[in-house]
Amino acid sequence: MNPEVGVRAAALDSVVGHAREASPCECCGLLLGRRGDIAEVFRARNIADEPERRFLIDPEDHFAARRAARTLGLDVVGFYHSHPRSPAEPSERDRAEFSYAGHLYLIVSVRAEPAEVGLFQFDAGNFQRLSFVTVA
């Protein structure tokens, strides 16, 4: 993984918008792109039993996102979700439930303006914060 990830501005705007729309519940979705680049996002339904405190991506949406990625010539490179009331960093629940090694995890906090965004890579049971640059 490159030390700095490129995130398309439209993709980032979409995630922040999704987080604001879903608040006070958590939103979730998939990140589409290529290694070192997030080009698109795919919104997913949060089917968690307590959507105000956790997220669970609808399996149908997960498969639809994978099909969309193939159609666009992209890969699923990670996942995103929001924290309506806490910082944009992995929570204890996130740490316990995330399991896709090598994937990116974008977390957006909408508890204040402007929204706070954190990007992480999960590997060997740990989260590594990544720097990112917004690109056109």
- Could you give the residue numbers annotated as active site? 26
- What 8-state DSSP symbol labels residue 27? P
Give the span between the Cα atoms of 44 and 89, in whole angstroms. 20
| Sign of the Cα pseudo-torsion (3, 1, 71, 47, in order) | negative
For residue 51, is the peptide bond before it cis, meaning its omega torsion is within 30 degrees of 0? Answer: no
The letter for the amino acid at 87 is P
Q: Which residue has the tokens 């929570």?
A: 91
Give the span between the Cα atoms of 39 and 98, in whole angstroms. 22
The letter for the amino acid at 7 is V
